[in-house]
Structure 1
């Protein structure tokens, strides 16, 4: 994981300065707070916020990992570089890959890799998301249907910040796997 203090962050309140203080009034549930209503949805419902890519590469990549049969993990931090001979995960991952291609034909789904590639320490397949609606639909679906597999969800930004996008800006479903970030320094 990268050092979060190695980056600068814009203020979350940029564009919302000098507004009236928010109310502490609670909703009917007695726990959540009432938010000011202005009748306009955030633009983030319609398009990814800057600096996320809105182009050909898509705003987000999702890498869905499985322990392949008869291979060793490539990353030195991975569990003792043990042979991850797991035919049940391969079968499940291949079925999930097929289901995603059938249920979400509008998404870009890449080949089914049977070995580590790039920074990814084990076999995987990748799905690209192009809109906030695709992100909301697919990620919520994947949370329920990913079974024993882990998934890395990372943004694609217009600036080439591959290491930051795969680490500091990334989120995980399931267990976090150690990425080989040395590939970003080449």
Structure 2
């Protein structure tokens, strides 16, 4: 029997989107006045409009990171990326958190980039559509930050969650930029060794992990 994929669980491992809706009456096929869209039953406003749903991080890291990539050897992309970075700082801060303008690849990111953090659905709803128009020739990775990882007690699970958030759960604006996931694999190997030694919490303070996490998400 093949070993399970550590980073991509089988479909049976996903919670059902209909958990909590069991036993509801079937939905109808009635159309709205446009003759195309489906008519839904009246309902209260979803709390997802006001706060990120679990397990998205509602703390200091924020629910989503946006990495905006440019080819550092391309003068036109470099100029545009610098202008976009400045525009975001002038127009969309202090609501958003934005980091330094990298001039080289870092962590799993194979080309230069800069990062923006989103803390609320309102910020997400404002920034992502804005970026869809203003990203120009650049690509952007939008990935969640979640809190369902194992933390200090299960560093391997924590790294698996981080990798999954950067891959399976990722969204892209523009062309997809292949990330270098070997950084997660190396972290997982080191974390597994720490667990085997009986000191899983020791890995959380390890300088190598701290540097790697800083390169993955600059929080």
Q: TM-score range by the shorter chain?
A: 0.7 to 0.9
Contact 1:4 1:168 in 2 (8 A): no
Q: CA 1:10–1:124 in 2, change beyond 3 Å: closer, same or farther?
A: same
Q: Does 1:172 align with 2:172?
A: yes
| TM-score, length basis structure 2 | 0.74
Q: CA 1:177–1:7 in 2, change beyond 3 Å: closer, same or farther?
A: farther
Match of 1:136 in 2: 125
- Relative to total residues, which structure has the larger helix share, 1 or 2? 2
Q: 1:91 aligns with which of 76, 79, 87?
A: 79
| TM-score, length basis structure 1 | 0.87
Distance 1:164 1:103 in 2: 32
Match of 2:103 in 1: 114
Moved runs in structure 1, 4+ residues, more than 4 A? none
Distance 1:99 1:109 in 2: 11
> How many Å apart are 1:3 and its aligned residue?
4.3
> How many Å apart are 1:103 and its aligned residue?
1.0
Higher relative contact order (CA 8 A, sep 6+): 1
Which runs of 5 or more residues in structure 2 are unaligned?
Answer: 1-6, 150-157, 188-219
Match of 1:184 in 2: 184
Which runs of 5 or more residues in structure 1 are unaligned?
Answer: 70-85
Distance 1:54 1:170 in 2: 18
- The aligned length equals 168
